Structure formats: C-alpha cells, structure tokens
Amino acid sequence: MTTTYDKPLPDVDDPDMGPFWAATRQGRLTAQRCADCTTLRFPATPVCGTCLSEDTGWVDVSGTGTIWSYAVYHRAFHPGFRGELPYVVAIVENTDGLHYTGRVFGPRSAVAVGAPVSVRFDAVTPQVSLPSWVVAG
C-alpha cells in the first residue's frame, strides 16, 4: 500500500456507492440487488430501474468476466497517469452480466474484446482499494 497516491480517488462516503467502496477495501466485488424483484444493478442507484423499488441491499458478485470494450490510452487524462503510458482501461462484463470499468493489467497482446479477466484489488490509500482487472492466462 502506498502512502502517496497522485491519481483521482472515489468518494468513499457517497451515499449510493459508499457500500461498494467499503466492500472493495475487504477484497469483495459487489452490486446492489433489488429486495423486491432481485434485479442486480451497478453502478448503484437509489431506485430500481426495473420495478422502481427503493428497497435494496448489497451482495457479492463474481470477480470473473470478459472484456466487453476497451481503450488503450496513449495520452494521460490526468497527470498522475503520465508515467504509466500506455495503459488499458476496459469495461468488463462479469459473469453476473454487470459492467464494471477499470484498468486492465497483463500482456497488452492478450487484451481483446472477449478476453477472460479476473478482478484484483489495489490498496492505493488506507481508505481506498480500487478494483482492476487481470487478463487470465
């Protein structure tokens, strides 16, 4: 764990996403589940888009999936990423059908739409562990 992190950080106290960030600190990937219709959703919202229920909870979900889409960044969108160029950011569809966005690590030659990935959690500050993805194999 580093003590200095010079990249953007999520708001771990956000009322909707706070439980997600608490789970990532524990090494768990989670999503909201509607208590009425059981629909999974991510990112979090205060109301279920399927049945409009406000009754929700958080559940652990699969940490494996496939790359749904990706981009290779050759220009840093934030100064903190300059030393890591080029880097890959992907939308990953996990095996529960949810989409998560994050960095992808592994051989760039293995990064492709449909490539299998698994989640890892990088503790970047004492309060924040960021989920990222590792290309399988």
Q: Is 38 left (phi over 0), alpha (psi -120 to 50) or beta?
A: left
Q: Where are the domains of the chain?
A: 11-61, 62-137
Of the pLDDT bands very low, low, confident and very high (cuts 50, 70, 90), residue 4 is confident
Fold of 62-137: OB fold (Dihydrolipoamide Acetyltransferase, E2P) (2.40.50)
Q: Is the peptide bond before 43 cis (omega within 30 degrees of 0)?
A: yes
* Segment 13-64, tens digit of pLDDT: 999 999 999 999 999 999 999 999 999 999 999 999 999 999 999 999 999 9
